[in-house]
Structure formats: C-alpha cells, structure tokens
Chain A
C-alpha cells in the first residue's frame, strides 16, 4: 500500500532522516520503534505532506505522492493522528467531524453525521457519543474522535504518533483493539512508539529507527525483546569522563512520594521517591514525555504536586515556590533555555543577574547596583569563557552554546547545594557539551548534589554516578554506573522491564 524509499531530510546540520525505506502492505500494522530524535516524527511529517524531503520517493496505492499538502494526503487516504490533537475543544464530536469535510456540502447535516458517527463507533468499538463536547472528553476519547475523523474520511492508512502517551492502561488496550479491528477490514496502521511492549502486542512488523537510520527490521512473531531493545539503544558507549570516586555524603535532594496529575487528569508522576546525595550525580534517563517535565517543574517550584514532598538540603520546599528553592540553595538549568532560563531581549549582564537582582550586592537600597552587575558579568564571562560582544550584548545574538554558558554561569555561580539540570546539552555542539558536563562534574566535586535529567542515554551514562530510568511517571530502575547494562536500560526505557528499585538504589546508600 505504502512504499517510501530513500527518504532523506536534514534540518541544518542535523540529519533527521538518512536514506530510509519503509514498506507497509495492506492489512498490516507496522510499528516504528525509536527514541527521541530517532527521526520517526520527521518521517511521518514527510509522509503527510507537512515537510518536504530532501530526497526520496513516496508511493501510495501505486500513485506517486510528491510536493503534496496534508489535504491531498488526506484525500489520498492517509490519515494522521497527531500527538497533539487537531480538535476544537469547545465543539461537539459531530461538529469536529464535520469540520473541513467537504462531502457534506454547504448546509450542515448534524443528524446524519451523528448517525454515521454512532455507526462507526459501534463497528470499531470506539464508544463515542456524537453530542459530547470534545473538551470534556478524556484524552483517550479525544484520540478516538481523531480516529473516527480519519475513518469517516476513508483513510486506508492510519498513522498514530506516540498514541499512548496520555492514555490510561485500559484505554491503551482499548486502542489496540480498535487498531486490530481496522486491520481486520483491510486498513493498515503505522504505529509510532518507543514502548516496546505495545509494539510487540499489536504490530505485525517492526522497524527500528535510530539517529535517522533504520537499524533493524523484523517480523514481530520471530523477534525477541532483547534484540529489539538492542537495536534501539545499541551504541558505543564512550568511556565515562574522568572523575574522583568518592563516597556520597548526606542527602541533599529528597523527593518523597511525588504524585502529579496534569490538566487533563492523567497521572504524570506516580508516587516518585528518590534522593540525591552530596557529591553525586543522579542521571535520569528516559524518553521524553514520561514525566521528566513534570518532575523538573515540581522540583524547581514551578508547579505543585498533588501529593508528596520535595526537600532541598533538609528544608521542605514543596509549596514554597521558586523563592523557597532559591533560599534553600537550588540551582535550575531548565530544558528550555531560550524562553525560560534566559530573557533573550536582555543583555548578558542582566541575564547573569536574573536570580539575585533583588538582593545585595546587586541591589543597593532601592536601586540596582549597575556597576556590581557589570563587574559580576565581566567576571563570569571570563570564568566561563562566554563569547559575546560585551556584557551589554543581547543574549539573542549569542550562539546556543554561549547562551547555555550564561545559564550555567548564573546557576553554578550561586554555589548551589543542589543542581537540577534538565537537558542541559540539547542543541549544543560537542565542544559546548563537554564544557557543560565538565562544569557539572566540578560542582559535584564541590559537594553539591546533581539531578541530571536527559533523554540522551549516552550522556546519562557518562555523567551519572547512579543512573535511573523514568517510564510512565515511575522510576523503573536505578543502578550504579559501574557495570550498567545498556540493553537493560533500553528495555526499561521502552517500558518492558520494571525492576521496582529498592531503597538502596533509590536513596543511594550503596557505594557508587
């Protein structure tokens, strides 16, 4: 049904897709397995017409698809269920289905459409009431609305991008059932996921992507989990960086039974507990979307948990907001450096002063001490080798690496007792990456506790004294770096292995 050959795409220097070949016959469910940045989403965006490939061919039902728009892809019979739904929350299911569906003409026929919705709902077990307002539906139900939209428009190939990230377990099995029914009547599905278990559950065939290339292809029936996990994460693990082996000290960051629900009511953190000790780095690996953002927000004071506590250096800061964290000595290098950690339209000096402009020495009475701010800026710029015109340059003009250096200089310059670093090397070149890691390790030397959250497995392995894996809001494994098995970690990241780590692992009482 679908044949994609030689697909290549680069975004600047990043090669998102490298000569990828994908064949999907009729009546098959094909799984696309891979971590963040493996190129899955880019490939599908190319298929759906949202992105143009640099090279390659797409054939659907024997017809060539080239330079097409999403609308044309839809018309050809390809239905895409995005991770972020394209629905109008204020409208009913019927209205959302009718939107953009030219078949029904100038006048709306909600009654007729509702009947067809009910019909399809029954046939595929979708359980949707046409009159319900989409905004009031669970995310799982909203997803089913997207599916029904695709079905009613005659999509014969459905593409689902990480469809289960916001579903509860019963909803997940419900979805997989729906997919099986679709297959039974001749349609095909591309199922994109990093969750091995689900792929093995419902797919006929699985294609493994890593770093933009196909690293493996197999019939699900004949392949083992270990093999797939290996295809997903196998890499030359570079020698971990030089460091002093030391006994970790007292607990500096303690997270206790943290539970967080998102706005839609889905649990994002499930009773998470762990601690990080003075002089050690706990690196949390895991595919994006498994609770990292929520964990970071709660620890940093940007969000409140439903239940649970956060202790920084002994102080309970759970409900104290950012101020309490700062007072307790927390440093935060956020994932989103450009919008959260920096103000791009302000100068280097001002950004370096962002945390404590309200206190002496940067503040003198009711005034900001401009010369103190500048002096500090000059000092930090030298210390961290920040390349900028001068301290009055706008941060927006700096490279990503230099921007991150500013964040580091600011956060580390406060000599925090606990550092929360989230994806600190994202988008940085190798030189800048090394710099960041060196500084983090230096902080570790100085006795701080570092929680290092990263989706780059390699990096986590290189930086952490202990490595933890986050999956679906839980820590499914924590192990010391020495002797950490990449395959085991891969299986954990894919949700297949859950070691339910014990207190020793969680609280670091075993030596590194």
Chain B
C-alpha cells in the first residue's frame, strides 16, 4: 500500500514536469502581456525537434537544444504577429497550435518512406538519483530519484521567482504586462520586452515537449501533447501567474493524471474519465471562484500602441 502511494506520488511529480516547464514559459509571456495560448503548439514542436535531433545525432543534449529551438521558432511567429501586426493574441495562439500539429506530423512523415509515419525510438532519459537524499525513505523515491529535467524544472521555478521579483529585467517585464505606457515613458521598449518574453517562453515550452518525448515516452506521435499546453494555461491561472503557484497547480494536475491511470488498480468506484475531468473542473471552479478578482496582468491582450499625447 505504501509502495503504491510512493509510486503514485513519484508518478505525479514526473507527469507534472512538462506541465511545469510549459507553465513557467507561459508565465513569462503572460506577465509581459501576451496570452500564451500557443503553448500547446510550442510544446509539440519541441517534442518533435527533440526526438528527431536525438535520433539523428545520438546525443540527448543536442535533442534538448533542438527542442528549445523548436519552441522558440513557433514562439517567434506569435511574437511577430501579435506585436508587429497586432494580430489578436488568443486566436494567433490557436493558429500556431494548428500549424504545429500540421508541421510536426508532416515532417514526421517526411522522414519516413512513402509519406508514412516512421516509429522513431530513442532511449528515454534515465532517472538520476541524488546521492544520499535519494535513499531517504518515502521522500527519496518521490523527490530525489527523478530524471534530470525534473530537477531542472523545480530549479527553474525558483530561478524564475527570483528573476521576476528581484531583478530589474523581471520588474520591467512585469511592468510591461501591467502598463506598457509607463515603461515607455521611462525610456523602456515594451515591444522588445514582449517579443523577448514570448520567445523565451517558447523556449521553455519547447523544453516541456522534450520532457514528454525524450524523458517520458521515447518517441514522437502525432499530437502527443494532448492538450497539456492548455492545462498549463489553467495551471498558470490557478497559480495566480506566479511560479510557485504554477508549481502547485501542475502537481495537482499531475496527481489527477496519475490517479486516472491507476484507478483500475486501486479500484475506486469512480470512472477514469471522471477523474480525467477533474483538472479541468477544478480549474473552472478556481477561476469562477476567483471571478473578476483573478488578477490578470492588466495590459494583457492589448497590443502596445505608441500614443502621441
């Protein structure tokens, strides 16, 4: 019983990892005032790039770099369209998601014979046991025997918190999301900040994809992100656009997913589908509960237009 619990919690952490990377990337984008609806597509692009690069070079490190690049490229599309062309942020995100599904599936088949999708297999990243801490009872297997990228995600959460709250660039980024005119009035460049934030967010979302394809599954399949990008969005909101809050949100969603996979074994009287619904219903409930007080970055969604007073 205790073993099953440990296993369940470890799985929750594992499953939460890609969500967390995506959520952190989304926080960068949204805090700067750009809706991160395109996380799903960026994740997918990263997942694909990661697998292909690892397969091609045999090196996981190259794969990880490729996944970051993949996410960034798609993010660049969003950044340019929304800032330079003032396209609607939400719908552009959707468009990029559709684009990503098409591109990744297309390119995947392009690598196979006669347009068929090949099965690419790469070895998944192994878990990295932290010496001594990994041997602790209960806590050890749950927290300290996870693959490398999971540790990176948690570390990144802390780093992002420090960045947002304690550094000048972080302050500027937050200010752009709240009142870009104020930043402009003190000589800043809100457009450049937004573009940077969106692309950096895309890098993290790409990394999230790498976690999915390289760390968890070892291959790429069509649309393998399965809506996780949107779930990351929900985690951002539930976490009030703070890295720590998003971490908690992702863990909760990870737990729900882990639970849903094990519901047969545990023989709960609830269907697995209902459990799968939980993350979404919980998000809705939290959103509805927060109501109008859900403190969105004030300037999100609106393109920054330089006004002549």
Query: Which chain A residues have a beta carbon within 8 Å of chain B's beta carbons?
Result: 41, 45, 50-51, 69-71, 74, 82, 86-91, 95, 98-101, 104-108
Contact A98 B171, beta carbon cutoff 8 Å? yes
Alpha-carbon distance A51/B185, docked complex (angstroms) = 13
- Interface positions, chain B 165-180, Cβ under 8 Å from A, are 166-169, 171-172, 174-175, 178-179
Contact B188 A100, beta carbon cutoff 8 Å? yes
With a cutoff of 8 Å between Cβ atoms, the chain B residues found around residue A108 in the complex are 166-168, 171
CB distance from B301 to the nearest CB of A (A): 16
Contact residue among B167, B175, B308 (Cβ-Cβ distance under 8 Å from A107): B167
CB distance from B266 to the nearest CB of A (A): 43
CB distance from A103 to the nearest CB of B (A): 10
Contact A71 B186, beta carbon cutoff 8 Å? yes
CB distance from B94 to the nearest CB of A (A): 25
With a cutoff of 8 Å between Cβ atoms, the chain A residues found around residue B187 in the complex are 69-71, 74, 100
Inter-chain pairs besides A99-B186, A106-B169, 7 sampled, C-beta below 8 Å: A50-B308, A74-B187, A89-B298, A90-B178, A91-B174, A99-B183, A100-B187
With a cutoff of 8 Å between Cβ atoms, the chain A residues found around residue B179 in the complex are 86-89
Identify 21 residue pairs between A and B in the complex whose beta-carbon atoms are under 8 Å apart, listed by A's number: A41-B309, A51-B309, A70-B187, A86-B179, A88-B178, A89-B178, A90-B178, A90-B295, A90-B298, A91-B175, A95-B171, A95-B175, A98-B171, A99-B172, A100-B183, A100-B188, A101-B186, A104-B168, A107-B168, A108-B166, A108-B167
With a cutoff of 8 Å between Cβ atoms, the chain A residues found around residue B295 in the complex are 90
By secondary structure, the A interface counts as: loop
Contact A107 B172, beta carbon cutoff 8 Å? no
Alpha-carbon distance A106/B171, docked complex (angstroms) = 10
Given A45-B309, A50-B309, A51-B308, A86:B185 Cβ within 8 A:
yes
- Interface positions, chain B 122-154, Cβ under 8 Å from A, are none
With a cutoff of 8 Å between Cβ atoms, the chain A residues found around residue B181 in the complex are 86
Alpha-carbon distance A50/B309, docked complex (angstroms) = 8
With a cutoff of 8 Å between Cβ atoms, the chain A residues found around residue B185 in the complex are 70, 82, 86
Query: Which chain B residues have a beta carbon within 8 Å of chain A's beta carbons?
Result: 166-169, 171-172, 174-175, 178-179, 181-183, 185-188, 295, 297-298, 308-309
Contact A100 B178, beta carbon cutoff 8 Å? no
With a cutoff of 8 Å between Cβ atoms, the chain A residues found around residue B186 in the complex are 70-71, 74, 86, 99-101
CB distance from A84 to the nearest CB of B (A): 9
Alpha-carbon distance A69/B186, docked complex (angstroms) = 10
With a cutoff of 8 Å between Cβ atoms, the chain A residues found around residue B171 in the complex are 95, 98-99, 108
Alpha-carbon distance A288/B140, docked complex (angstroms) = 69
Alpha-carbon distance A28/B181, docked complex (angstroms) = 31
Given A70-B187, A90-B295, A108-B167, A99:B182 Cβ within 8 A:
yes
Alpha-carbon distance A87/B183, docked complex (angstroms) = 9
Alpha-carbon distance A98/B174, docked complex (angstroms) = 12
Alpha-carbon distance A71/B182, docked complex (angstroms) = 12
Chain B residue with the shortest CB-CB distance to A100: B186
Chain A residue with the shortest CB-CB distance to B179: A88
With a cutoff of 8 Å between Cβ atoms, the chain B residues found around residue A91 in the complex are 174-175, 178
Chain B residue with the shortest CB-CB distance to A87: B182
With a cutoff of 8 Å between Cβ atoms, the chain A residues found around residue B174 in the complex are 88, 91
With a cutoff of 8 Å between Cβ atoms, the chain A residues found around residue B309 in the complex are 41, 45, 50-51, 82
Contact A86 B167, beta carbon cutoff 8 Å? no
Contact B168 A86, beta carbon cutoff 8 Å? no
Alpha-carbon distance A86/B171, docked complex (angstroms) = 15
Top 6 closest A-B pairs, CB basis?
A100-B186, A71-B187, A86-B185, A86-B182, A88-B178, A88-B179
CB distance from A147 to the nearest CB of B (A): 15
Alpha-carbon distance A70/B188, docked complex (angstroms) = 11
Alpha-carbon distance A163/B118, docked complex (angstroms) = 69
Alpha-carbon distance A99/B181, docked complex (angstroms) = 12
Chain A residue with the shortest CB-CB distance to B182: A86
CB distance from A267 to the nearest CB of B (A): 25
With a cutoff of 8 Å between Cβ atoms, the chain B residues found around residue A100 in the complex are 172, 183, 186-188
With a cutoff of 8 Å between Cβ atoms, the chain A residues found around residue B188 in the complex are 100
Alpha-carbon distance A89/B172, docked complex (angstroms) = 14
CB distance from B191 to the nearest CB of A (A): 15
With a cutoff of 8 Å between Cβ atoms, the chain B residues found around residue A105 in the complex are 168
Contact A88 B182, beta carbon cutoff 8 Å? yes
Alpha-carbon distance A95/B308, docked complex (angstroms) = 26
Contact A107 B182, beta carbon cutoff 8 Å? no
Chain B residue with the shortest CB-CB distance to A101: B186
Alpha-carbon distance A51/B307, docked complex (angstroms) = 11
With a cutoff of 8 Å between Cβ atoms, the chain A residues found around residue B167 in the complex are 106-108
Alpha-carbon distance A387/B178, docked complex (angstroms) = 44
Alpha-carbon distance A107/B178, docked complex (angstroms) = 21
Alpha-carbon distance A354/B235, docked complex (angstroms) = 44
Alpha-carbon distance A45/B179, docked complex (angstroms) = 20
Alpha-carbon distance A90/B31, docked complex (angstroms) = 12
With a cutoff of 8 Å between Cβ atoms, the chain A residues found around residue B182 in the complex are 86-88, 99
Alpha-carbon distance A74/B188, docked complex (angstroms) = 13
Chain B residue with the shortest CB-CB distance to A104: B168
With a cutoff of 8 Å between Cβ atoms, the chain B residues found around residue A87 in the complex are 179, 182
With a cutoff of 8 Å between Cβ atoms, the chain A residues found around residue B308 in the complex are 50-51
Contact residue among A74, A88, A89, A107 (Cβ-Cβ distance under 8 Å from B166): A107
With a cutoff of 8 Å between Cβ atoms, the chain B residues found around residue A82 in the complex are 185, 309
With a cutoff of 8 Å between Cβ atoms, the chain A residues found around residue B175 in the complex are 88, 91, 95, 99
CB distance from B295 to the nearest CB of A (A): 7
CB distance from A110 to the nearest CB of B (A): 8
- Centre residue among A51, A82, A91 by max chain B CB count within 10 A: A91
CB distance from A150 to the nearest CB of B (A): 11
Alpha-carbon distance A51/B309, docked complex (angstroms) = 8
Chain B residue with the shortest CB-CB distance to A11: B308
